[in-house]
Structures are given as structure tokens and as C-alpha cells.
Chains A and B, each alone.
Chain A
Amino acid sequence: MKKRTIIPIGPYHPLQEEAEFFQLYVEGEKVVDMDVRISYNHRGIEGISETMHFDQVTFLVERICGICSASHPLAYIQAVEDLAGVEVPERALYLRTIINELERIHSHVLWAGLAGHFIGYNTVWMWAWRYREPVLDLLEEISGSRINYANAKIGGCRRDIPNELMPHIQKVMDELIPPMDMITKAVLDDPVIHARLKGVGVLTKEDALRYCVTGPTARASGVPIDVRRDDPYAAYDRVEWKVITRNEGDVFAKAVVRLLEIFESIKIIKECAEKIPDGPIEAEVREIPPGEAVGHVEAPRGETFHYVRSDGGNRPVRHKVRSPSYVNVPSFRASCIGQSISDVSITLASVDPCYSCTERIAVVDSDTGERVYTARDLIKLSQDKTKRLMEERGRQTNE
């Protein structure tokens, strides 16, 4: 039998800015198994949100993840609006679309840059981040902040984009196309990048379905899912755009999907800025009735899903978040095993993992200090909980 070596990566390592811990089991150069340990970033957001007012939670979920700081609130707000039965004014829907698409552009460009950095191509990093700046400036002009936009609220939007700003948005978008073209061409035509990324970290269509991945990770493996098209929200069904898919499933395909999506986003924003109707930007919300609802949004990394339950009071009694990275990260087991160790870093980066969204639980055992749950323990916990809930339900219906 070949000798197995364990290579620990993290929790603090120069590769990614977030803390996570990977253990790679390697034979020679080849990765044969891997383990991941997270929860360095777990802040207990679901718990905190149950102590906050419905309107305050919007700002809390905005801070689940900095890069999806428009998608998380929107998913939450849609859940609450569904609960309260609010009809959101047309103009607010367009405003939401514009902000969400700007976020997608800045996230995808950011990823392209970081991916360049991971394969040692820092030029791409510098380029990409430089051309991302106009988008951030635009967001600052619209919302007052470069990153936490705080623009959506239950029933509409907090701040209008004045009509005088629309030509400016068009102009910024027009000016963004040539540099994005350049980056896309630089990536697509570069023989070095081809050699480095093609056939690396392949996630087959079967595996993609088996691990239920979402977003660009799924679309690069030939699974054409996109919440924006499948269950349109905001103003996505009022504009023309198409879902980008690739069939190869390797890192290169993921890069292509993201880069081409930037152009789709530009198209959406331009069309929204042109078509946006006049009118009010918020509807009045008087009360949140008891009940439960879900909201989902296509974040830059995939489907963000929020579940909210209310008992008629002024705060959610249960708020559950499922972020895209939560389903995308386990697919590492399918895409990394069998790779050479030097390819692992870019394969890990290729799903654009976001650990601050993913972090779930920390269990402290008062005897030993810390306790790590294995997959089997977690499954057992979940089964126990389901059983308990079923029993409670049964009791309620019998009563």
C-alpha cells in the first residue's frame, strides 16, 4: 500500500481571506481523500434574528456575507412580503433588479480576479479589481455605500434612484463592456490559462445533481437552473436575458460561465434603466400575520433560500437561511479527489466558496472543551429532530 500523507491547510492561510480548515490525504501528488472543518466564522445569525424586529433583520441578513449583501436581504424580504401579502410597486422591483445585478457584476469580477491570483496570474487580479471600481462607485452613488447597500426593505425600497441618474448608469455600463471584453478574451484565448484550467476539477453532471449544487457551479456542469428564470422575482421576467450554461464542468467552464454572465447582467441593468416606470417605491405594510413563508433569490453564487415563520408578533419566531455555498462546498469531494495537489487550490476556489454564509454550528462540550460532530452524528441529530417535530405536529393535529 502506498504511503498516505496528511496535509493540513488552514485555518489561517494566505489563500483565502476566510478561515477554514482542510485536511488533504495525499498519496504522492494525488489527493485521495479530504476533510473539511468549518465554523470559525459562525456568528449565530439565525439566533440573533429571532431577537430582532422584522425590519431590523434586513440589516442583519445583509451582513451574513458581504458579497451577497443584496441577495440575502432580498430573499428574506420576499419571504416576509409573501407572508404579509404585500404588493410591491413596480418601480421598486426594477430598483431591486438593478442593485442585484450590479452586485452580481462586482462579485463575478472579484472572483475572476481572485481566480487569477490563485493560479499565480496576478495581472488578471489587478486588472479585474481595477475595472470593478466603477461598479462600486456606481453603487456608492446609488445607495451611499460601496458594499452594504441597505436598499431593500419590506414592501419596497428605502431609497429611489433619481431618473437623472439613469443615463449615468447607462454610461457606466457602456464603459464597462470594453474592459470586460478584454478580460474575457484574455482568459479565453490565453494558452497558459487553458493548460492550467481545462480538465481540472471536473464536476460531472451526475455529481452536480447528486450534490444538488446551484448557481454557476451547476450551470458550468450542464444543469441549467437559475432562480431568476425558473421562479422570476423582482423585474427579471420583464427583461430579455439568457441563462449561460456549459457542459464541461471543469474550472475553465466555471470561469467562462461567470465571465459571460457579466455581459448578461450588463444587458439587464441597461434594459431596466431604460424601462423603469415612474411611481411610488414602497407599499405600506401594517402587520405581519402568523404563518410561514419562503423566499429565494439567485445570488451570485447560486440560490439563496430564506424561511421565515411568524406568530403574529413583531419578530420572526424562526428564521432559517440556506446559502448557496452550503450546498456547493460539499461538491469538493467529487471534484478534488483524484486531482494533483497543486490543482486543489483553484478547484476549491472555483465554486467561489463563501464560508461566512456556510458556517453553521459550534458545540461546546463542558468536559473536553470542544466537540466535533461527524457526518453520522449530524444525520442522527437531524433524524431525531424530525421525529420530535413529527410527534409535536401529531399532537397538535390530534388536539
Chain B
Amino acid sequence: MSWKIWALKKSPWVFHVNTGACNNCDIELLELLTPRFDVERFGIKLVGTPRHADALVVTGGVTRQAAPRLQEIYRQTPKPCVVFAIGSCACSKGIFKKGYHMIGPVDKVIKEVDPEAIVMYIPGCPPKPEAMILGVVKALAAL
């Protein structure tokens, strides 16, 4: 394991990108920071800019207007980084599959910039906070 991956796994800082979510996945994500789940005690922290982030947490199937921004954010994130696609929307566009304005899902948009990108999927509409924690733990173990 390279030292970069080791450092990433130790305390992943995440940046949250909403690319057309319905807000549910987002509030459940914020929920993780608040007292009941409190993931900060494991060193997982929400940061304000992608340049500080080890992982991107993407919610929502990607809309046409959000896609170039998501790609730009991915470019700005230091590598190696992990992309978490949270919710059915981000994994597969979910219920909005037929929408004329959706060009996602997240993995497709990210892989246009970097075919090697590491994308992890946490399905659910919305996934429960416990499921998100489990997903992150499994992802980090698999790195």
C-alpha cells in the first residue's frame, strides 16, 4: 500500500457535491455529523473546498448543468481520491432516469475525466445513515 493510500484511509476528509439530488441524501449525510452518528470521532470531516478533500461525496444523478462543474471539482481534488456515489440517483439516476436533463450517473461523468477513478456506490433512496457508514468502512477496507 502506498503511503498516500495509507494517509487517505487514516482520516478521510470529504467534500460534498450535490449534482441534482432531492435533498434527502444531503440531509442524511449532514445527519452523520450530528450527535447521534458523529462520524467526526473517526476522523471523517466535511470540508469546504475540494482542494482539502480526500473523498468526494456525490449525491444526485448528474444534471446537464452540474456535470461540467462536477468534473471540474474532481480535477481540483488531490489524487488519489475516492468518489462516493450516495443514493440511487447517484448510482443509476434512480427515479429520474427518463429526465431529459439528466446525463449522469456519477460514475459515467467522473470516468470521462479520469477512467481510473475509484468510485464507490451506496444505493438506497435515501440510504440510511448506518448504511452510509457501512459503505465508507467497506470502501476504506477495500482500498
Taking Cβ atoms with an 8 Å cutoff, the residues of A that contact B are: 11-14, 17-19, 39-45, 47-48, 51, 59-60, 63-67, 69, 110, 113, 125-126, 129-130, 133, 146-148, 354, 356, 362, 364, 370
Beyond A43-B96, A60-B95, is A12–B24 a contact (Cβ under 8 Å)? no
> Which of A43, A63, A146, A356 interacts with B102 by CB under 8 Å?
A43
Within the complex, the shortest CB–CB distance from B91 to chain A, in Å, comes to: 15
Write out, one digit per residue, whether chain B residues 49-71 have a CB within 8 A of any chain A CB (1) or not (0): 11000000000110111100100
Residue ranges of B at the interface with A (Cβ–Cβ < 8 Å):
16-31, 34-36, 47-50, 60-61, 63-66, 69, 73, 94-96, 98-102, 125-126, 128
Interface contact A44-B100, CB-CB below 8 Å: yes
Contact of A42 among B20, B23, B26 (CB under 8 A): B20
**Chain A, Cβ-Cβ closest to B46:** A14
Q: Are B31 and A19 in contact (CB under 8 A)?
A: no
Interchain residue pairs A-B with the least CB separation, the first 4: A66-B24, A14-B48, A66-B23, A129-B34
Between A and B, 15 residue pairs with Cβ closer than 8 Å are A17-B29, A19-B66, A40-B18, A42-B63, A43-B61, A43-B99, A48-B96, A63-B22, A63-B95, A66-B21, A66-B26, A113-B34, A126-B34, A129-B31, A148-B24
**Quick one: which of B24, B36, B47, B64 contacts A364, CB cutoff 8 A?**
B64
Q: Given the complex, which residues of A lie within 8 Å of B63, measured CB to CB?
A: 39-43, 362
| Residues A147 and B28 in contact, CB atoms below 8 Å apart | yes
Report the minimal beta-carbon distance from B123 to chain A, rounded to whole angstroms: 14
User: Nearest Cβ in chain B — how far from A7, in angstroms?
Assistant: 16
- Determine how close the nearest CB of chain B comes to the CB of A236; give it in whole angstroms: 25
Shortest C-beta distance, B92 to chain A (Å), equals 14
Of the listed residues A13, A17, A354, A364, the one surrounded by the most CB atoms of chain B closer than 10 A to its CB is: A17
Q: Are B61 and A67 within 8 A (Cβ)?
A: no
Q: Is the CB of A18 within 8 A of B26?
A: yes
Shortest distance from the beta carbon of A369 to any chain B beta carbon, whole Å:
9
Given contacts A19-B18, A41-B20, A66-B22, 4 further A-B contacts (CB under 8 A): A66-B126, A147-B24, A354-B23, A356-B22
Q: Is the CB of B17 within 8 A of A129?
A: no
In the bound assembly, the distance between CA atoms of A12 and B76 in angstroms comes to 13
Q: Are B26 and A44 in contact (CB under 8 A)?
A: no
Q: Tell me the minimal C-beta distance from B5 to chain A in angstroms.
A: 26
- Would you call B99 and A67 a contact (CB within 8 A)? no
Residue from the list B35, B50, B60 in contact with A130, Cβ < 8 A:
B35
Residues in A whose Cβ lies below 8 Å from that of B101:
42-44, 362
- Contacts A40-B66, A47-B99; A130 near B34 (Cβ below 8 A): yes
Docked complex Cα distance between A48 and B22 (Å): 15
What B residues does A356 contact at CB under 8 A?
Answer: 20-23
A126 touches B35 (CB 8 A): yes
Q: Are A48 and B126 in contact (CB under 8 A)?
A: no
Residues of A within 8 A of B98 (CB): 47-48, 51
State in angstroms the CA–CA spacing of A146 and B33 once bound together. Answer: 17
- A40 with B20, Cβ < 8 A, contacts A48-B98, A129-B35 known: yes
CA distance A60 to B22 in the complex (A): 11
Report how far A59 CA is from B69 CA in the complex, Å.
29
Other-chain residue from A47, A133, A147, A364 in contact with B126 (beta carbon distance below 8 A): A147
The answer on a CB contact under 8 Å between B28 and A17 is: no
A19 to chain B: closest residue by CB = B18
Which chain B positions have C-beta within 8 A of A125?
34
Are the CB atoms of B64 and A362 closer together than 8 Å? Answer: yes
Contact, CB under 8 Å: A12 / B73: yes
Q: What chain A residues lie within 8 Å of B69 (beta carbons)?
A: 11-12, 19, 40
Partner of B125, one of A17, A67, A148: A148
Q: Enumerate chain B residues within 8 angstroms of A364, measured Cβ to Cβ.
A: 64
Q: Which of B23, B65, B66 contacts A17 (CB 8 A)?
A: B23
A125 to chain B, nearest CB (A): 7
Identify the closest chain A residue to B69 (Cβ): A11
Known: A64-B22, A66-B126, A129-B34. A45 touches B99 (CB 8 A): yes
A66 vs B25: C-alpha distance in the bound complex, in angstroms?
A: 8
Contacting residue for B28 out of A11, A130, A146, CB 8 A:
A146
Bound together, the chains give a CA A126 to CA B102 distance in angstroms of 35
Chain A residues positioned under 8 Å from B28 (CB to CB): 146-147
Query: Most chain-A Cβ atoms within 10 A of its Cβ — which of B50, B95, B100, B101?
Result: B101
Let me know if B27 and A67 touch, CB within 8 A. Answer: yes
Per the bound structure, the CA–CA distance linking A60 and B125 in Å amounts to: 12
Which single member of B60, B99, B126 contacts A148 (CB below 8 Å)?
A: B126
How far is A51 from B126 in the complex, measured between Cα atoms in Å?
23
Q: Is B18 touching A17 in the complex (CB atoms < 8 A)?
A: yes
Closest to B49 in A: A14
Q: Which residue of A lies closest to B38 (CB)?
A: A126
* Cα-based distance from A362 to B67 in the complex (angstroms): 13
